[in-house]
């Protein structure tokens, strides 16, 4: 939007300007970080007055900033200098409220070259007066215009989607989970943290001496947590699989071991956990600035999947997406282009997967492809390319052509876009929690929460 200021001589008594602003949880977090005011009364997930309910009350000086926004942008506009501001707060506003900040010129002093404005903020929903007051400013001395889009955007980094998943999962019974080879602090601590949050009931499988040493290094008391002894990594993986067959575990969690070793036990033709569906991996990503979790598959198991494998990749991802709250997941099958090109095999696979979903061979979601990355996730890019339908520009699940592409995409989201990723292996009789050594506590908790929700969906809860 192009903005132009008003000089002293251009201002007239009664001139009025206003802005509308929807106050969000992210606004309050940004203000807390910028101002240093961490009063829990102003944070959406904290109880600041002890009544048991988070207030998410908009800080008074944030409201004052909405007045400043009108003065600095519209009336008088760019170049305005504050001289004084009086504020009276009538009632609180909260995250989720839309507010109108309105300024009206009430006096001009030629001698002092000052302008007085009546200032007020109202909530249009009920016309409630939130703030009233008076501002005295020095109008700009020269004519200026600028674009409001010139100001860099700000994205608040927090785990809004993972926090919601945790809140849902913590209402369910803890998931009995065989933790395979928790022989390093990151592996054992993740399991103990999930236990403290009521997500899992761990059974530790591995070398008892190494587990005890790891617990000692963490300063952790294992208490009554069962330990199943195993001589090496493969034996531990097989013992964990055995716990599933015995009904003592409803999930597996990979500890400090190679994924290939765990897969070897899972895929054993006689004693494994095969279901007839290909094992596939899904990242559930919490991407700052994105309004929903983003699923990326397959980024860890299937190196160069053929069409048959991709059918299972897509179906597993849809099943997981539905388990964590998507009613009809929108699946974008990625390629380098959004049109079918016989020289690009991934574009052909994408088109076939889309048609298979249309014919009911893939169920539970909308599937479209081929889509390039931009027009899969950005509606403007999709419209520019003339793409319509439920998925283009709105994809919630991204199916990549191969492991290389998936791994790169997931790590780009993690290390460049500051996303967090929860990892789960699907297609076995039970979910397999696949954490990385680089995962922080939130990612480990989220992986467990996703497993809890998925297992509950498997059981029809």
Neighbours of 375 (CB within 10 A): 24
The class of domain 2-150 in CATH terms is alpha beta
Residue keyed to tokens 């990594």 = 233
Domains 2-150 and 160-458 share a fold: no
Q: What is the pTM of this model?
A: 0.74
Q: According to the model, what pLDDT value does residue 344 have?
A: 96
Q: According to the model, what pLDDT value does residue 153 have?
A: 59
Q: According to the model, what pLDDT value does residue 26 have?
A: 81
Could you name the CATH architecture of 160-458?
Answer: 3-Layer(aba) Sandwich (3.40)
Cα-Cα-Cα-Cα torsion 222, 228, 231, 235, nearest 10 degrees, comes to -130
| pLDDT tens for each residue of the chain, 461 residues long | 678 999 999 999 999 999 998 888 888 888 988 999 999 888 877 777 888 788 889 999 999 999 999 999 999 999 999 999 999 999 999 988 999 999 999 999 999 999 999 999 999 989 999 999 999 999 999 998 877 666 665 566 667 789 889 999 999 999 999 999 999 998 999 999 999 999 999 999 999 999 999 999 999 999 899 999 998 999 999 999 999 999 999 999 999 999 999 999 999 999 999 999 999 999 999 988 788 899 999 999 999 999 999 999 999 999 999 999 999 999 999 999 999 999 999 999 999 999 999 999 999 999 999 999 999 999 889 989 999 899 999 999 999 999 999 999 999 998 888 888 999 999 999 999 998 766 778 888 999 999 999 999 988 76
Cα–Cα dist 372/376, whole Å: 6
Q: According to the model, what pLDDT value does residue 461 have?
A: 63
Q: According to the model, what pLDDT value does residue 289 have?
A: 76
Q: Would you kindly state where each structural domain of the chain is located, as residue ranges? A: 2-150, 160-458
Q: According to the model, what pLDDT value does residue 18 have?
A: 94
Q: According to the model, what pLDDT value does residue 209 have?
A: 94
Q: According to the model, what pLDDT value does residue 158 have?
A: 64
Q: According to the model, what pLDDT value does residue 459 have?
A: 85
């Amino acid at each position: 939007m192009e903005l132009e200021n008003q000089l002293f001589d251009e201002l007239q008594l009664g001139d009025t300007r206003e802005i509308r602003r929807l106050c969000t949880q992210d606004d309050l977090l940004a203000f807390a970080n910028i101002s240093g005011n961490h009063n829990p009364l102003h944070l959406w997930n904290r109880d600041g007055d002890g009544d048991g309910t988070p207030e998410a009350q908009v800080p008074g000086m944030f409201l004052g900033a909405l007045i400043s926004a009108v003065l600095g942008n519209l009336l008088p506009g760019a170049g305005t200098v504050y001289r004084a501001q009086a504020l009276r707060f009538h009632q609180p506003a909260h995250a989720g409220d839309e507010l109108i900040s309105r300024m009206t010129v009430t006096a001009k002093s030629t001698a002092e070259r000052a302008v007085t404005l009546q200032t007020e903020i109202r909530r249009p929903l009920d016309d409630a007066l939130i703030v009233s007051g008076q501002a005295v400013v020095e109008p700009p001395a020269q004519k200026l215009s600028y674009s409001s889009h010139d100001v860099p955007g700000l994205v608040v980094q927090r785990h809004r989607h993972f926090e919601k998943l945790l809140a849902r999962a913590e209402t369910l019974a803890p998931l009995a989970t065989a933790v395979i080879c928790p022989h390093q602090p990151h592996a054992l601590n993740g399991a103990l943290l999930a236990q403290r949050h009521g997500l899992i009931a761990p059974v530790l499988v591995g070398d008892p001496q190494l587990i005890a040493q790891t617990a000692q290094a963490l300063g952790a008391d294992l208490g009554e947590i069962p330990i199943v002894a195993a001589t090496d990594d493969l034996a531990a993986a097989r013992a964990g699989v055995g716990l599933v067959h015995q009904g003592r575990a409803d999930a597996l969690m990979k500890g400090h071991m190679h994924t290939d070793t765990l897969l070897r036990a899972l895929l054993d033709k006689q004693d494994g956990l095969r279901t007839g569906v290909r094992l596939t991996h899904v990242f559930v990503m919490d991407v700052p600035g994105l309004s929903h979790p983003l699923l990326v598959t397959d980024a860890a198991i299937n190196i160069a999947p053929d069409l048959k494998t991709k059918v299972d990749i897509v179906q597993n991802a849809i099943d997981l997406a539905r388990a964590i709250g998507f009613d009809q997941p929108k699946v974008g099958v990625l390629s380098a282009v959004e049109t079918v090109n016989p020289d690009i095999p991934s574009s052909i696979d994408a088109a076939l997967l889309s048609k298979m979903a249309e014919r009911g061979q893939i169920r539970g979601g909308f599937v479209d492809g081929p889509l390039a990355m931009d027009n899969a996730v950005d509606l403007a890019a999709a419209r520019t390319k003339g793409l319509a339908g439920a998925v283009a520009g709105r994809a919630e699940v991204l199916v990549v052509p191969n492991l290389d592409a998936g791994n790169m995409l997931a790590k780009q989201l993690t290390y460049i876009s500051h996303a967090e990723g929860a990892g789960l292996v699907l297609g076995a009789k039970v979910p397999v929690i696949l954490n990385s050594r680089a995962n922080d506590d939130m990612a480990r908790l989220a992986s467990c929460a996703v497993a809890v929700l998925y297992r509950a969906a498997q059981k029809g809860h």
